Amino acid sequence: MTSIDPLTPAGRLAGDPFTVEGADLLIGGIPVKVLAERFGTPLYVYDAGTMRRSHDRLAAALAGFAAIHYSIKANPNPAVIKVLIGQGAGVEIASLGEYRLARSAGAAPENILFAGPGKRAAELEAVIAEGIGEIHLESLEEIARIERLAAGRSAPVPVAIRFNPVAEVQGGAMRMGGRPAPFGFDEEGLDGVIDRVQSSRTFDLRGVHMFAGTQILDADILAGQWAHGLAVAGRVARRIGRPLKTIDLGGGLGIPYFAGEAALDLARLASHVPALVAAQQADPLTRDARVVVEPGRFLVGPAGLYVARVLAAKTSRGARFLVTDGGMHHHLAASGNLGQIIKRDYPVLAPARMGEAASVTAAIAGPLCTPLDMLARKAALPDLGEGDLIAVLQSGAYGLTASPVGFLGHPAPAEVLVDGGEARLVSR
Ligand SMILES: *Cc1c(COP(=O)(O)O)cnc(C)c1O
């Protein structure tokens, strides 16, 4: 086996979870070409080994400090959830649908955290009846809604208060802290919220939950956020007047997508852990709390590949276009239409023509009748034609379920999990 050309951005990313044999890119030891023939295109492929590695490397970096809950909105496929639960992760959900998926994947109710700015009565009622680790309170109406639903129950409802931090947290692609947000309660107004929850017999107020931003690649910034979260937790505990049981510091750990981005430095993140542990231990009201982080993207993004086949290669006024059977209806994020401010290309490869030098710069268009349907704008590739495959890397998170699958009536892609040298269809 040879490694992938390390000089291209796609090659640098592919080198970690994937290998190359002859002309073929292999995922979990199986040529992508073979998977495309067996399961048809377009398809998503997820590599269980890569997910396990991501989980275990993070767990090692945070050892002695924080437990990991997988935020399943990144990829709610039950086979994917099952892999991470198997590594010891809890889960974080944001709807009753996700609760059902987590349970069907084997998550124990007490290991499920339920966030989300708009939880309906039916959702709250179901998780309270069936069991939940914590509901993260995000509005006064939600507090009252749970009170009404839980009236007459003897067991208190386990909750934490979600807060929107004051600190403008730099470095994330979509910053959620420090500015107005529909999520949780503003940090500045927490005292009133704490008093409101404490005044009710309905709740077992266990802790706090902060989520400051997503796609953060700088370990120092993450550690800074977490230190802020611990400090706020201490203040909340003092207002409550007793120790906290949980402190949820959120997700947001980034992965590299674009040229010039480097992977989150886990060794550097680990170097912050002793100071974070010391800060937590210094306060008797936070000392015994279970600290949680809840990444989504970091755990599953690098493990996934989206594969499509070229239907036509054409030139329009001097520009090269590859039209494929896959597009934004399956992979909105790669098309740059999932909240990105600047549209930059995800790493793209020709997974069955790996040995060849990139000789063409092509736009990769999907089959939809809209100019938004572009999987890449300037992909450097061999000169591909009808029948050739393209693969979009870093596609395991915010892929299929974050895409407008119904738009234009094309079929859903297959989802395939590769594990232990075997590939199996895991589409729902
Ligand atoms: C989406 C979300 C996450 C996961 O975010 P990533 O950036 O994928 O790590 C974690 N917690 C909450 C509350 C979320 O909404």
Decide if pLDDT at 404 tops 60.
yes
Enter the tokens of residue 387. 């029948």
CA–CA gap between residue 39 and residue 22 (Å, rounded): 22
Name the domain boundary from 295, 329, 346: 295
Spatial separation of the C-alpha atoms in residues 111 and 84, rounded to whole Å: 13
Mean pLDDT, rounded, of the chain: 93
Q: What local confidence, expressed as pLDDT, does residue 1 receive?
A: 40
User: Whole-angstrom Cα distance, residue 290 to residue 315?
Assistant: 58
Local structure of 372: helix, strand or coil: coil
* CATH assignment at residue 126: 3.20.20.10
Most confident of 15-24, 137-146, 211-220: 137-146
Q: Is position 59 within any domain?
A: no
Q: Could you tell which of 69, 164, 211, 218 is best to mutate to test the pocket of ligand 1, judged by most ligand atoms within 8 Å of the CB?
A: 211
Clarify whether residues 89 and 225 are in a common domain: yes
Tell me if 61 is assigned to some domain.
Answer: no
pLDDT, tens digit, 9 for 90 and up, residues 311-365 = 999 999 999 999 999 999 999 999 999 988 888 999 999 999 999 999 999 999 9
In this structure, is residue 63 part of a structural domain? no
CA-nearest residue for atom 10, ligand 1, is 251
Which range of residues forms the domain containing residue 197? 76-295
pLDDT, average across residues 26-36? 96
**Ligand 1 atom nearest to 397, measured from its CA:** 8
Considering the domain boundaries, does residue 60 fall inside one?
no
Q: Which of 69, 70, 71, 119 to mutate to test the pocket of ligand 1 (most atoms within 8 A of CB)?
A: 71
**Burial track 299-320 (b if 16+ CB lie within 10 A, e otherwise):** bbbbbbbbbbbbbebeeeeeeb
In this predicted structure, the answer to whether residue 371 has a pLDDT above a threshold of 70 is: yes
Is residue 56 assigned to a domain?
A: no
Residue type, position 412, single letter: A
The CA 252 to ligand 1 mean position distance, Å, reads 6
| 6 vs 398, residue with greater confidence | 398
Give the residues surrounding ligand 1 with Cβ less than 6 Å away. Answer: 71, 73-74, 92, 94, 115, 211, 214, 250-253, 294-298
Residue 2: which pLDDT band, with cuts at 50, 70 and 90?
very low
Shared domain for 167 and 21, answered yes or no, is no
CA-wise closest residue to 116 among 239, 300, 294: 294
Phi/psi-derived region of residue 383, left when phi > 0, alpha when psi is between -120 and 50, beta in every other case: beta
Query: Within this chain, do residues 270 and 342 fall inside the same structural domain, yes or no?
Result: no
d(C-alpha 45, C-alpha 305), whole Å: 5
Pocket test for ligand 1, best of 62, 294, 338 (most atoms within 8 A of CB): 294
Give the pLDDT confidence of 131-152 residue by residue, as tens digits.
999 999 999 999 999 999 999 8
**pLDDT score, position 18:** 86
By CB neighbour count within 10 A (0-12 exposed, 13-18 middle, 19+ buried), where does 290 fall? middle
Q: Write down the pLDDT at residue 6.
A: 44
